[in-house]
Structure 1
Amino acid sequence: MQQYNFTYNDIHNTICKAAKVIREQDYAPDYLLAIGGGGLIPARIMRTFINRPILTVALSRYSDEIGTAPASTPIKLQWLETDINLAGKKILVVDEVDDERTTLEYTLQHLMETHPDAEFSAFVVHNKKKAKKGKLPEGMKHFFAGEEIEDYWINYAWDAENIDAFAQ
């Protein structure tokens, strides 16, 4: 299987360009919401260009303790506190890759159900050009992708065990 290796510099530059596009759309979120774990680093980089507070949720796509059995739907590990008032706020949900779209669909659907008076948009660093199993919920404002890429395996620098050998 073909692979892409993306360095921190690659990701930083992609997010920088995407933030410019987002600002040109005259979109100014009140919060960035990172989907952990893959969206944590991209959200922090996005904050460099769109200086907003970062909220987090965490999901797992695996149902067993060692992370090998895919779950039929993502499993909530951490969710927003109920006392956060998002009414009237614009939230940009951030993740690293839109592969099957199941994580984005699950996250956005639950956010929109629990915070119906907020406006949700999504940003992914990479959107794989392929048919998706999930769909984006109706009522979502924007979908932004830093890059459209082929359906190859992705290696991100933050997953590397040996960072010195990663980019070689």
Structure 2
Amino acid sequence: MVEKVYVTYNQVHKLCQASAGRILEEFRPNLMIAIGGGGYVPARMLRSFLKKKDSPNIPIQAIGLSLYEDLGRGDPEEVPGTKVTRTQWLDLSSLEMANLIGKNVLIVDEVDDTRTTLEYAVRELEKDVELAQKQLGRQGEKTTFSIFVLHNKDKPKKGQLPPEMLAENRYLAAVTSGDVWICYPWEATLVPPLSYSYVYASMFCAGILTLASK
């Protein structure tokens, strides 16, 4: 049986917080692309930590890619598939793709397992940006992609990232784990009763509660 590791929302929050400094210093993203469905929550959490005072939030765009296959047992466990399927993509004919030209783009996903999904995302996005540059006459504007994942599984990878991306350290995993099944909180189907901690957190965010000074 595959070992399972359960991750909480609080842990995800802390991983994003711990990684934000390096992302700001080294990647300097102008825009994030979240790979759905696992990259949506980390991207949104990360955006809060990347926001600079008196500056707007970093925009988040979304793509949907599916590699895992349902085992058909009625549980959330899946196995890696062999083919990446697009379920959502940027519209090449709209401003979505034009907005990527000349930007530092951070691709966000929850886990780097076989690396197949990340390879597909980088390859196809680079291809589409190059096409958009030609269509709009903006070939001189460089788009730089970097990657952030919560967990990188220490295992042989089927997919490959561009050598220059790795050489330039444009890849960051908050945690390197063993080859375990990581269960993220947004995958849960059983939701516990609302705890006081959630109530207090909501009140703090709303300004109803404040931290006592030492």
Task: Name the TM-score, length of structure 2 as normaliser.
Answer: 0.70
**What SS class does the counterpart of residue 23 from structure 1 fall into?**
helix
What is the alpha-carbon distance in structure 2 between the residues aligned to residue 2 and residue 70 of structure 1?
16
Q: 1:152 to 1:69 in 2, by over 3 A?
A: closer
Find the counterpart in structure 1 of residue 38 from structure 2: 38
What displacement does 1:70 show? Answer: 5.9
Find the counterpart in structure 2 of residue 6 from structure 1: 7
Structure 2 unaligned runs (5+)?
52-57, 131-141, 194-214
Bigger share in helix: 2
What is the alpha-carbon distance in structure 2 between the residues aligned to residue 11 and residue 112 of structure 1?
28
Find the counterpart in structure 2 of residue 128 from structure 1: 153
Q: 1:69 to 1:42 in 2, by over 3 A?
A: closer
Structure 1 unaligned runs (5+)?
none
Q: 1:71 to 1:150 in 2, by over 3 A?
A: closer
Greater shift in the superposed pair: 40-49 or 54-63: 54-63
**Offset from partner CA, 1:65-114 (integer Å, 9 cap, x none):** x7978653201111112122121111000000000000000011000111
* Regions of 4+ moved over 3 Å: 66-71, 138-141
Q: 1:53 aligns with which of 59, 74, 77?
A: 59
Find the counterpart in structure 2 of residue 21 from structure 1: 22
Find the counterpart in structure 2 of residue 92 from structure 1: 106
What is the alpha-carbon distance in structure 2 between the residues aligned to residue 95 and residue 155 of structure 1?
14
Provide the identity percentage: 41
**Offset from partner CA, 1:44-83 (integer Å, 9 cap, x none):** 111111231100000122579x797865320111111212
Q: Do residues 113 (structure 1) and 141 (structure 2) align?
A: no
Within 5 Å, which residues of 2 pair with 1:64-83? 71-82=81-92, 83=94
What displacement does 1:132 show? Answer: 0.6
Query: 1 or 2 for the larger relative contact order (CA 8 Å, sep ≥6)?
Result: 1
Indicate the structure (1 or 2) with the bigger Cα radius of gyration: 2
What is the alpha-carbon distance in structure 2 between the residues aligned to residue 49 and residue 69 of structure 1?
32
